[in-house]
Amino acid sequence: MHNGGVTTAPTARDAVPEACCTSLTSEALSVEDAQRFAQLLKAVAEPTRLRLVSLIAAQDNKEACVCDLTEPVGLGQPTVSHHLKILVDAGILHREKRGVWAYYSIVPGALERAAAVLSPGR
């Protein structure tokens, strides 16, 4: 792995938008919805990924490159890039390549929509 870049495939990216309209307690979940929601929640249900999202949110400009994140989480660049790719694929993070680095930011509304799966009307 070099310069922190990861390729982004939109595999599970549809999970977040679709999560807006059905929640866990509003009706009995279909097998398909349950699988989609579980995939979305699994993307964040991991300590390092939660910390990465949190660290990105805590940046002054709300974005970070891999170079900003390896030291705070105490992991190497390939591992951090792997976790970031999972979050991008789940639609939680946006990735933008600028120069030699990719910059990651939280997709507006993504965490709110993931939360809405668990609790629709807080």
List residues near a copy of itself by CB under 8 A.
24-25, 27-29, 31, 34-35, 37-38, 41-42, 44-51, 53-55, 57-58, 72, 106, 111-112, 114-119, 122
d(CA 50, CA 48): 5
Q: Which is nearer to a copy of itself, 71 or 99 (CB)?
A: 71
Nearest Cα neighbor of 92 from 104, 74, 78 is 104
Q: Which is nearer to a copy of itself, 3 or 22 (CB)?
A: 22
Nearest Cα neighbor of 37 from 50, 20, 54, 52 is 20
Q: Do 110 and 116 meet the contact criterion of CB atoms below 8 Å apart? A: no
CB of 20 to a copy of itself, least distance (A): 12
d(CA 87, CA 94): 9
CB of 29 to a copy of itself, least distance (A): 4
Q: Which is nearer to a copy of itself, 100 or 118 (CB)?
A: 118
Q: Which is nearer to a copy of itself, 3 or 75 (CB)?
A: 75
